[in-house]
Amino acid sequence: MNPAIKATLLVLSALVLLALPLWVNPGLLHLVGVTIVMGVFAVAWNLLFGYAGLASFGSGGLFSIGAYFMAVMLRAGWQDGFLLLILVSMAAGGLVAFLVGAIALRRSSGIYLAILTLALSEVLRLFLMRWHWIGAEDGLPNIVRPSFSIGIARVDLSNGHSYYWFLCLACAAMVAIMWWILHSPLGRTLRAIRLDPERTAFMGVNVYGYKLAAFTLSGIFAAGAGALYAPWAQIVTPDLGNMTRSVQPILYTLLGGASSFWGPLIGAFSFSAIEYATRTLVGIQEIITGAILLVIILVFPTGIAGAFSRFVGALMPSEPSSRHGSSVASAVRTETP
């Protein structure tokens, strides 16, 4: 897609998101906040899937590690170190992902890896459910939105919409870092591994090491999303790590388009929009969600982002395709004739 169009769209959507609290209903705003976090979570998942070709079904476990860590620390009164806490949560998620990946990636891949990660996150959830110190099934409520100081400036996120704006900025920062990582040599090597692991290995690349790096990075950002989520919802429960939560980034990614960096975010927002629009249609929610998914998979296998780039491409046939996004899209397309 034309980089200029892309930049304009990006700036426009950022502005709309930042201005939302001024005019939308608080319920919708809450949903948007959750969606932003879930979008980042999905981008982190796609870092593993779209770029390294590995599917994890246990990302919800990493999300809840970040969320629980933040919840416990904030409830213990560590507000002042809020920014540091985000980093430590991410480190914790990264560490767990690294340890799991170090063992799992040596032994399994594909569907086996998917089920292995699913089982591990289920074990974590069962553990969280029976631990009274962190609230067992009811979870940890009353998480404060922190106020802290940076140098001499005092930042208070507990009032009005300030936490929403902070959430937007923090998520933008995480997305920017992921974008930068994926467009660095690391990202290019990962894509090479996805397309042809054997040939890449022949070129002297340590395939296992790169996969492990992707697995760890994905864990870092999943936990980061969780850490930002805790003060937004102000409650965390063990269900954050259940299978439904782990499947969500997958749905968002495929709906939006795995071949595009922005796909998962687009998917998350589209999904939430559908959900909000149909919220009063009691009793047929599953059918609606299922039907939409099915149509997307059958009609637009490259997701909304893929369909959109093709649409723009058709409008402007003379425009050369950009380096990013659509080039991966075409790669996937050749892979799936």
Applying CB under 8 A, the residues found at the interface with other proteins are 25-31, 34, 49, 55, 103-104, 107-112, 115-116, 119-120, 122-123, 126, 129-130, 132, 136-139, 141-142, 233-235, 237, 239, 247, 250-251, 254, 279-287, 289-291, 293-294, 297-298, 301, 332, 335-337
- CB of residue 111 vs other proteins: minimum separation in angstroms? 6
The distance of closest approach from Cβ of residue 228 to other proteins in the complex, given in angstroms and rounded to an integer, is 14
Nearer to other proteins, 19 or 297 (CB): 297
Output 12 or 99, the one with its CB closest to other proteins: 99
Nearer to other proteins, 88 or 163 (CB): 163
Q: Minimum distance between the CB of residue 11 and other proteins, rounded to whole angstroms?
A: 28
Query: CB-wise, 152 or 282, nearer to other proteins?
Result: 282
Rounded Cα gap, residues 37 and 70, in angstroms: 15
Least separation in angstroms between CB 2 and other proteins: 28
In the structure encoding, which two tokens stand for residue 247, read together?
Answer: 């499947």
Q: Judged by CB, which is closer to other proteins: 112, or 180?
A: 112
Q: Give least dist CB 27 to other proteins, A.
A: 2
Residues in a beta bridge with 148? 155
CB within 8 A of 194, min separation 6: which ones? 50, 51, 52, 53
Nearer to other proteins, 119 or 169 (CB): 119
Give the phi and the psi of residue 301 in degrees, each rounded to 5.
Answer: -60, -15
Task: Give the nearest distance from C-beta 133 to other proteins in angstroms.
Answer: 12
Q: How far is the CB of 30 from other proteins (least distance, A)?
A: 5
Cα dist. 285→51, 111, 178, 224, 274 in Å?
Answer: 32, 28, 33, 30, 10
Q: What distance in Å separates the CA atoms of residue 64 and residue 88, rounded to the nearest whole number?
A: 14
Cα(first)–Cα(last) distance of the chain, in Å?
A: 22
Distance CA 14, CA 169 (A): 10
DSSP string across 107-118: H--HHHHHHHHH
Measuring CA to CA, which residue among 146, 153, 151 is closest to residue 70? 146
For 171, the 3-state DSSP assignment is: helix
- Do 11 and 223 meet the contact criterion of CB atoms below 8 Å apart? no
Nearer to other proteins, 55 or 97 (CB): 55
